[in-house]
Amino acid sequence: MPDVPELCQGQGMNLAARIAGTGSYLPARVMTNAEVCERAPTTDAWIRERLGIETRRIAAPDEQASDMGAAAARKACEAARITPAQVDAIICALGSGDVMVPATAAYVQHKLGITHQCPAFDVRMACAGGLGGMHLARGLLAGGLANHVLVVGTQLGSRTSVDWTDRTTAPIFGDGAGAVVVGHQTAGGGRHILASRLHSDGGLTGIVGQFGGGTITPLSPEMLARGEHFIHMDGKAVWTVAERELPKVAREVVADTGWDISDVDFVVSHQANRRLLLHVLGLLGIEQARTFTNIERYGNTVSASALIALDEAARLGHLKPGMKVLLLAIGAGMTWGGMTVEW
């Protein structure tokens, strides 16, 4: 167990968490809607109107999910003013990773040059993974098991999970990575995580997922021929769950914090669908001016999405000291959650 920092000694141990630093990485290759339409039977107008997406990023042929994750992680460590050697645990939230086994987190660890016995493991909560990883990081800090937890969300679906001929999914997804260092609260440091909640409903597993390659449908030529290794999604069902559960968890976590929804200054959300995000905010009575979107440029980067949005919102100056910030995400499982931060 790492040494408890001086802040936590003396007058009782304060193991509350803060966002010590953020980082993100986007591949250089930009894919336009026009390119998607060359392979999938859809139109640029439909993609823009229904999804709010104009472009997305695509990883280079020699670029791996762990490469992107490590690049985002280095930026987060730099922002947190720590070296990778000071990281006590790595939680890697995945859509598609380097390999099935071992954990992509182990590849990230190696590429960061971390050689000490730092636990590194993956979590698979799909689009809710970035927020879910931060939720778990709070637990590690509260249990005194770490001082700095690196949460990485990385997604490389362009050559693994996306069927580029499927009009229902091809326009949606992009590649990228985001990262957050979660550390102990420091006097005057700000960015304090005040509350978080995470929910899942396993009865909704059929709504969205990659259903081939596991024990139900093992890897085989027939499974590949049927395209069951690609992501499949019932968009209407996702919308229904999101509009029901995201406002609910937002109100729960805000109440846990002692706030009212009207107190929220800014919302950072997983970027699933621009219309859906603005619809959910409308149900909460939060105007568009109190959020930030980048789905227009990056599409849905799954587990990386909320972390990339958080990093960009911070670096662009949308998040100012003292702001009451609400984070939201929902993904396959179905899994969803919320978090409050006093920036």
Residue 335, SS3? strand
Burial of 62 (0-12, 13-18, 19+ CB in 10 A): exposed
Q: Is 127 a catalytic residue?
A: yes
Degrees (nearest 5) of the Cα angle 118, 21, 131? 75
The set of residues, in sequence order, having a beta carbon less than 8 Å from that of 208 and lying 6+ positions away, is 126, 231, 232, 233, 234, 237, 238, 331, 332, 334
Backbone φ and ψ for 301, nearest 5 degrees, come out as -100, 25
Burial of 33 (0-12, 13-18, 19+ CB in 10 A): buried
**Which residue among 127, 135, 184, 273 is the active-site one?**
127
Distances (CA, A) of 246 to 17, 46, 60, 63, 323: 23, 25, 34, 34, 21
Q: Is 270 a catalytic residue?
A: yes
Backbone φ and ψ for 30, nearest 5 degrees, come out as -105, 125
**Residues 333, 222: Cα–Cα separation, whole Å:** 25
Burial of 187 (0-12, 13-18, 19+ CB in 10 A): exposed
CA 327, 301, 70, 89 dihedral sign is: positive
Cβ-based neighbour number of residue 43 at 10 Å: 15
**Residues 87, 116: Cα–Cα separation, whole Å:** 10
Residue 336, SS3? strand
Q: Is 294 a catalytic residue?
A: no
**Which residue among 270, 273, 294, 318 is the active-site one?**
270
**Residues 236, 224: Cα–Cα separation, whole Å:** 26
Active-site residue list: 127, 270, 300
